[in-house]
Amino acid sequence: MKSLIKVMIADRDEDFRMLLKDALETEGDLRVTASTGNGAEAAVLAEKGAADVIVIDVILPELDGLGVLERISRLPAERRAACVVASSFDSREIIERAAALGAKFYLSKPFDIVVLAERIRQANTAPVRSATPETAPSSVRISTASPCRRSRFSWRSRRRFMVSW
């Protein structure tokens, strides 16, 4: 039996957060323990250890997603949640900055929910990296993938962003 992975969702769109919560919790091993539309609140929840993995958008009120990643990167490694960025803002500079701040994956919206669930599992098992020049990513690989469909939860995208170390 797989262990339960606690997930926090930080996205300014409440409807999207609810849809994502419903979709992830059908997976069985993923439980959404926190949800917020505010970056400052996301940072506080992350510092309190509300989740094992944080799914975060770049565009958030009060404190943007990169600011949240920066605050998380300053936490001791044993208290640092893994982060998966899911955003429609997909500039190469932002993706590289997110990776340098410790994001495990960057998915461009819209995305396939099955891919997100798998990235959450992978991020939860990946070793924690510090946000230092020695651990910054060497490149960002952009690959294409065929979208797949899963019940009513289908986020389609032809582009997938993967960070390579």
Q: What count of other Cβ atoms lies within 10 Å of the Cβ of residue 54?
A: 29
Q: How far apart are CA 37 and CA 34, in angstroms?
A: 11
- Number of structural domains found in the chain: 1
pTM for the model stands at 0.78
Amino acid (one-letter) located at 108: S
Any idea what the CATH number is for the domain that residue 98 is in?
Answer: 3.40.50.2300
56-110 confidence digits (pLDDT tens): 999 999 999 999 999 999 999 999 999 999 999 889 999 999 999 999 999 999 9
Query: Domain range for residue 16?
Result: 5-164
The three-point CA angle 158-72-86 to 5° equals: 15
